[in-house]
Amino acid sequence: QYENGSKGIYNQYYYFNSGYITKWLYIMPSYNKTFFNNKINLDFRANYRYDIALDDKYLAFNTIMNFYLPYEWTLWLLNSVNTNTKRDQVNNSTLRYTTVFFEAGIRKEFNCKQPRFQYYDLNIVFFKIPYLENNRIIGKVILNRDPLSSLGPIDISNIRVIAEDTQGHSYSALTDKQGNFVLYTPVTDHYILKINNIFYESFDIQQPEYIVKFNGYKQFEVTFVFDEKKKTISYNDPVAEDIKVEDIKVIRKTTLTGKIRDAISLDPIEAEIKIIDNKSNKVISRTISNRFNGNYNISYAADAHYRIEILSKDYWEYVENLYIEQVISIQNINKDIMLNKISGNRGKEK
């Protein structure tokens, strides 16, 4: 070890009084060895220190031998030899002195427990977890909606995506609110990537599974696309030839879209929207508005005896008869609704 400059209080004091900048060279070897089945232990240490600026030398040898005897007895022997050589800068002379120290002792351990200490047997279980290099599969779920869809908002979060390797090991992840997912997998030949098709009743998936081969890359990207099924009309019985045109009933579909908002703050509101038949008082269609933007979408077969009811916590109920003259078979109407809190007046249409 080599030191250049004053690094301690003593060296700083020496520098202010003598003007010498300390430069030290240290050599400190050591040796420890146990003999005769751990019965004898030898510990040897040497310390050589040389002051380059003042030409002072210090050399020390320390030897400790421990003899472990039966019945918890220990005998030790200590020997220390120190040699110190100092240079007198004024008289240009050298002063050397040597010290020899020897010590012997014996110790007995009774292993008596101290009353203020408690001793416990500690059992520790270690688990060796090997490091595995991971690859990453990222992807997204996309829903292609039918323009005439009556399903309303669809939650695409918490859909499970599973990757299975050639050895039968599987790894999975869940989608977030935006349909994104990240799946970490160990390095292997290839994976079969599948998705839990929870939309099978209303959607067709374009590609239900992928073969993922990284080929040296660390990331692979896939997209699961679902197409909403088209609405169809099935005729089980053949049409009779004597049916007149005026006997055919035309079914007209009305779709209401818009926003549900607070009448004062204009903040979006999560509310339940119901279309009710005034004659039978039955609910024809029902949906819930989006709490983040207030959007709603509800469809029903057009009739002249319907009303709309909107319910939301802490707001007055909104009720309005729907007098919509519909000429075409499919009609889309935009209708924004303002609701007032319980302390205010009844909601009104914008």
* Per-residue pLDDT reduced to its tens digit, 159-171: 999 999 888 889 9
Query: Which three-class secondary structure state does DSSP give residue 215?
Result: coil
Q: Pairing relation of β-strands 253-262 and 295-301? A: antiparallel
**Helix, strand, coil proportions of the chain in percent (round to 5)?**
5, 50, 45
In a 10 Å sphere around its CB, with 0-12 CB exposed, 13-18 middle and 19+ buried, how is residue 183 labelled? buried
CB 55 within 8 A of CB 87: yes
Instruction: Specify the fold of 134-228.
Output: Immunoglobulin-like (2.60.40)
End-to-end CA distance of the chain: 86
CATH code given to domain 250-349: 2.60.40.3330
pTM assigned to the model = 0.33
The pLDDT tens digits for 288-304 are: 999 899 999 988 877 76
For residue 291, CA distances in Å to 54, 239, 256, 258 come to 84, 47, 17, 13
Compute φ and ψ for 45, nearest 5 degrees.
-140, 140
Q: Compute φ and ψ for 233, nearest 5 degrees.
A: -115, 125
Predicted confidence (pLDDT) per residue in 108-117, tens digit: 888 776 667 7
Q: Lowest mean pLDDT of 60-74, 118-132, 316-330, name the range.
A: 316-330
Distance CA(296)–CA(285), nearest Å, equals 13
The residues that bridge with 30 in the sheet, in sequence order, are 45
Residue whose C-alpha is closest to residue 139's, from 231, 221, 33, 25: 221
pLDDT confidence of residue 347: 42
